[in-house]
Amino acid sequence: MRRLPPWLWLLMALVFGATATFMALGWMKSQSQRQVEQAAKVPTSPVVVATKDIEPANALRAEHLSVVQWPQATCPKGSFGRVDQLAGRVTTLPMNAGEPILEPKLAPQGTPAGMVALVPPDKRAMTVKVDEASGVAGFIIPNNRVDVIAAINRGEYSNDPLAKTVLENVRVLGTGQKIIEKDPDGKPHIVPTVTLEVTPEEGERLALAAQESHLSLVLRSQKDENPTETQGVKTSKLFKAGEEEIGPATGPAVQIIRRQKVEDVSYLDSFRPLARKTQPQDQGSRPGNKEPVRTTPSSSPPF
């Protein structure tokens, strides 16, 4: 049998490869068309979504929004179908790009933009001054929950200052800065501020605490909503709670050895007459002999 030339084998491989490629492309095209036809059969509804990230307390504009087709079976509850329905509405929660605009995330119709859009009808917004330490080093952000602790050293507490939690589980509406002038040279100071959501009664307590004491904010977990009753703590009782467990401080012991004589001396006894525990001296020792003093510290720490 006559052998085929190499160029013929190469030509046959090219023909078979091209045929297989066209068949694969045709199958993929038919599958995509089938998927398009199936998708066209799914009923959809127009839903307005955000085209970019939107911060709370901002009024919605047309350039913030777009309309997409959403399957009716999974259409979000409270969504909108037209952009003009959202003209001027103010957001109360942050929204991400591509997220549907929902009614629960918007302030009531007619609410102006700003902090007022974030305050519920039965609440108030109150701003207090904090410093970097009392404000949890700047880690507090809107929608966090904090406790407010007041430390007072005036009036009846002038000799024995008191620290106590005055408000619990308070929502943070916003953080910012306030410029005040306190320097003799008239230079402005930038003071961090935190705006809290409070009831009218809590606002009265917070105003008095801010006037008469130093406020500190304690960041708490978003999942922790259980109230905690505390009695507060005074300076005179700050370190007394653990005294019974710790016991009196005796200080480290030092052994002083003079020939056959061993003395145990406490480190704290150096500030008062030495209290020594002397062991019996052997008969062979003579008081006239002077030996070098060797000190052997005990294993207890120096503080």
Digitized pLDDT (tens) for each residue of the chain, 303 residues in all: 567 788 888 888 898 899 999 899 888 888 887 777 666 677 889 999 999 999 888 899 999 999 999 988 888 999 999 999 998 899 988 899 999 999 999 998 888 888 888 888 899 999 988 877 666 656 788 888 999 999 998 888 888 999 999 999 999 988 876 555 555 565 555 568 889 999 999 999 999 999 999 999 999 988 888 888 888 899 888 877 555 444 454 555 666 666 667 676 655 455 444 444 444 444 444 444 444 444 444 443 333
Supply the DSSP string of 156-169, one letter for each residue: GGSSS-EEEEEEEE
Token pair of 112, please?
Answer: 């102006």
Helix H segments across the chain? 6-41, 200-212, 243-246
The token duo for 208 is: 């008095």
* Residue 292 vs residues 101, 257, 258, 267, 277: alpha-carbon distances, Å: 88, 9, 7, 20, 20
**What per-residue confidence (pLDDT) applies to 279?**
46
| pLDDT value, residue 246 | 44
Domain covering 45-107 assigned CATH 3.40.50.720 in the classification: no
Q: How far apart are CA 269 and CA 278, in angstroms?
A: 15
Q: Which residue has the tokens 């703590």?
A: 233
Give the single-character DSSP code of 112.
Answer: P
Would the CA dihedral through 220, 223, 227, 230 be positive or negative?
Answer: negative
- How far is the C-alpha of 91 from the C-alpha of 106, rounded, in Å? 4
- pTM recorded for the entire structure: 0.56
How far is 44 from 66, CA to CA, in rounded Å? 16
Instruction: Give the Cα separation of 20 and 156 in Å (integer).
Output: 95
| Residue extents of the structural domains in the chain | 45-107, 118-237, 253-297
